[in-house]
């Protein structure tokens, strides 16, 4: 990497939004892993009404300076609500979503940033299905992800390989302009649809993925898959006038 590119990376501020719900076992390590990335990072954690001790861990991390901004929501409202709140609070040049469950490796963030940094992309998706190392888990989950991505692509005219990925990195000015409404896991297909409607230049890059089992705390299930189908239909053809 050239000296000019390293300097540009240092100056650019990346706002990392971490929506959190009942992740007391993993959130401290997740925050530490984000902080280990060699980028100028603003870390915003939004606790979505956790009741397992997560808040106490987050407050301690904020006191030590590892978290730049901690938002505590009074009750559980869903990942989409937490993400939208984080977008409102972000002050960086670029915004990315980072789950707190250790499934996604923050060391992939510099790779996601490159197409935006060099002017090729407005948004970059980290794909779990483009050849990166990944933990082998549930067959039917992979089928479901593939079908949801296919259905989303049919409605948005995109050719993504992984619409449901957590890693969606977007220029902050564009992200803040999107009229997002989804409250729960529907934020993934809605954000994809809004980017397509805005005619954003979207790239995909391969990422590592260490999926977890339900015994390890995985939350999303087949019910969320059916909800995603409804979300794709709803937001692919309806666009609110302005972002809240």
Summarised one tens digit per residue, pLDDT across range 67-118 is 999 999 999 999 999 999 999 999 999 999 999 999 999 999 999 999 999 9
- Asked if CATH classification 3.90.550.10 holds for the domain at 3-237, the reply, yes or no, is yes
Global pTM reads 0.85
Summarised one tens digit per residue, pLDDT across range 2-55 is 545 655 666 899 999 999 999 999 999 999 999 999 999 999 999 999 999 999
Summarised one tens digit per residue, pLDDT across range 8-17 is 666 899 999 9
Q: Which of 89, 55, 88, 60 is nearest to 72 (CA)?
A: 55
Three-state DSSP at 44 gives strand
Residue 216: per-residue pLDDT = 46
Q: Where are the domains of the chain?
A: 3-237
Summarised one tens digit per residue, pLDDT across range 131-170 is 766 655 566 677 777 888 999 999 999 999 999 999 999 9
């Amino acid at each position: 990497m050239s000296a000019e590119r390293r300097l540009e990376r240092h100056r650019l501020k990346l706002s990392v939004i971490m929506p959190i719900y009942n992740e007391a076992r993993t959130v401290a390590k997740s925050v530490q892993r984000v902080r280990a990335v060699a980028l100028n990072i603003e870390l915003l954690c939004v606790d979505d009404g956790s009741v397992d001790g997560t808040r106490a861990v987050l407050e301690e991390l904020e006191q030590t300076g590892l978290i730049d901004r901690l938002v505590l929501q009074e009750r559980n409202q869903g990942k989409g609500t937490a993400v939208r709140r984080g977008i409102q609070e972000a002050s960086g040049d670029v915004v990315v979503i980072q789950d707190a469950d250790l499934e996604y490796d923050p060391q992939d963030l510099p790779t996601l940033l490159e197409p935006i940094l060099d002017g090729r992309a407005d948004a970059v998706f980290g794909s779990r299905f483009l050849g990166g190392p990944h933990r082998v888990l549930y067959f039917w989950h992979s089928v479901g992800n593939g079908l949801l991505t296919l259905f989303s692509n049919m409605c948005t005219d995109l050719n993504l390989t992984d619409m449901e990925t957590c890693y969606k990195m977007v220029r902050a000015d564009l992200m803040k302009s999107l009229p997002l409404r989804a409250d729960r896991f529907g934020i993934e297909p809605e954000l994809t649809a809004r980017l397509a409607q805005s005619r954003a230049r979207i790239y995909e890059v391969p990422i590592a993925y260490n999926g977890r089992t339900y015994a390890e705390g995985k939350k999303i299930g087949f019910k969320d898959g059916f909800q995603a189908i409804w979300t794709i239909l709803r937001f692919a053809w309806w666009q609110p006038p302005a972002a809240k």
